[in-house]
Structure 1
Amino acid sequence: MRLYSMPSSGNSYKVRLLLALTGRDCPRVDVEYGSPALEAAHREGRLPFGKAPVLEVEPGVMLAESNAILCWLGEGGPFWPADPLERARMMAWMFWEQNQHEGVIAVRAALVTYPHRAAEATPERMAALLEAGHRLLGVMEAHLDGRDWLVGAGPSLADICLYAYTHKAGCRGGFAMDRFPAIGAWLDRVAGLPGYVGLDD
């Protein structure tokens, strides 16, 4: 396998984190914004949907989309619930992450982090994203109150998926994470998993 990964991206980090937590070694091609490696990956057709991450599962066989990659790598493993209902609930959180959470939490952080997106960071847009993000984090906070993990009695792909952008929501996105103690405790539990690696590791 070979992973085409954008080092600063939470979506790419999800895959790197799952690989680390499951002890799998996978060669990586870093395709950061503006890099020659990104240009080459586009030119060579390595990014089917035009973005990272992409997992080359075998030579010339490309699997795109972070959560699809998580499912392919995670199926049958320790982060894959055996119970069909728990598995469906895990996937519901993963769908929610891409449909709701990522488009607000990650986007606000991107507008702050990436110079080429600074022009999009109007005061009105940033305020709207802040309000929406706090509302979405409130959904997670209410669900995690009294629970250790998003689904079932142990960590699943849902936790890995939502950890990626949530754990940087404060320092990158400016969200008031002190409002969400249950999320904070959950973030600590994920970071304490054996094999854990951080975004910048």
Structure 2
Amino acid sequence: MIRLYDYLPSGNGYKVRLLLTQLAVPFERIELNIIKGETRTPEFLRKFPNGRIPAVELDDGKLLFESNAIISYFAVGTPFLPADSFQRAQVLQWLFFEQYSHEPYIASVRYLVIHPDVQDPRRPILDTLMRPRGYDALRVMEGHLKSREWFVGERYSVADIALYAYTHVATEGGFDLAGYPAVRAWLERVKSQPRHIPITQG
């Protein structure tokens, strides 16, 4: 069985959990507390040198890390990844956007807010740089979603899963989504998809 190394509050871990659940792929979830450094042990680092979750160990022993690489792997040959080559490139476009322009700000601000005791050098720029860049990402998403239901084509895909993971909990980081009606409507569409699970469900 697939083994998923995870941390329940993590949106990156949630991406994999959500996709596997929606694909009805069985997996064993192994909880690792990142606050306590449980992904920095020699045993974990021998398998996954980046020292982060999520990470997966496949049935055949192959190892894979980085959330968007993992969901892309499991989405191949399913409706979650378009067959059309240009639309696949568009999915990758949004996966890269999520990791470069969205996750470093929206997810990181949430992390710092919900873990106030964690020492982090980014705290002085939380309100002056990180949160404004998070709103920049939300504006890009809002503009894109004003004229469409999903990020790529006419179907829910891993592009939606990747962006949903931290957007739907952005308010936990102090982001106000009131001015983003298209984003809020899209969040409800994602939530209504078959086999949807909340981020709190292991």
Tell me the residue number matched to 2:136. 135
For residues 33-182 of structure 1, what are the structure 2 equivalents within 5 Å?
33-35=34-36, 38=39, 42-44=42-44, 45-58=46-59, 60-114=61-115, 115-117=117-119, 120-122=122-124, 124-170=125-171, 172-182=172-182
Tell me the residue number matched to 1:15. 16
Confirm or deny: 8 A CA contact 2:39 2:51 kept in the other structure: no
CA distance in 2, matches of 1:5, 1:17: 12
Cα drift, residue 69 of structure 1: 0.3
Q: 1:120 to 1:129 in 2, by over 3 A?
A: closer
Cα drift, residue 58 of structure 1: 2.9
Secondary structure at 1:179's aligned position in 2? coil
Give the gaps of 5 or more residues in structure 2.
none
Tell me the residue number matched to 1:27. 28
CA distance in 1, matches of 2:86, 2:161: 19
The amino acid of 2:161's aligned partner reads I
The amino acid of 2:101's aligned partner reads Q
Secondary structure at 1:33's aligned position in 2? coil
Cα drift, residue 47 of structure 1: 2.4
Give the gaps of 5 or more residues in structure 1.
none
Secondary structure at 2:56's aligned position in 1? strand
CA distance in 2, matches of 1:84, 1:23: 25
CA distance in 1, matches of 2:166, 2:200: 13
The amino acid of 2:85's aligned partner reads P
Cα drift, residue 4 of structure 1: 0.5
The amino acid of 1:50's aligned partner reads G
Identical-pair percentage: 38
Confirm or deny: 8 A CA contact 1:112 1:121 kept in the other structure: no
Cα drift, residue 99 of structure 1: 1.1
User: Given the two structures, how large is their TM-score scaled by the length of structure 2?
Assistant: 0.91
Secondary structure at 2:173's aligned position in 1? coil
CA distance in 1, matches of 2:128, 2:38: 35
Cα drift, residue 188 of structure 1: 0.3
The amino acid of 2:195's aligned partner reads G
Confirm or deny: 8 A CA contact 2:101 2:133 kept in the other structure: no
Secondary structure at 2:58's aligned position in 1? strand
Runs (4+) off by over 6 Å: none
Cα drift, residue 36 of structure 1: 7.9
Tell me the residue number matched to 2:5. 4
Q: Deviations over 1:51-110 (max 9, x none)?
A: 111110135421010001001111010111111111110110001111111111111111
Tell me the residue number matched to 2:196. 196
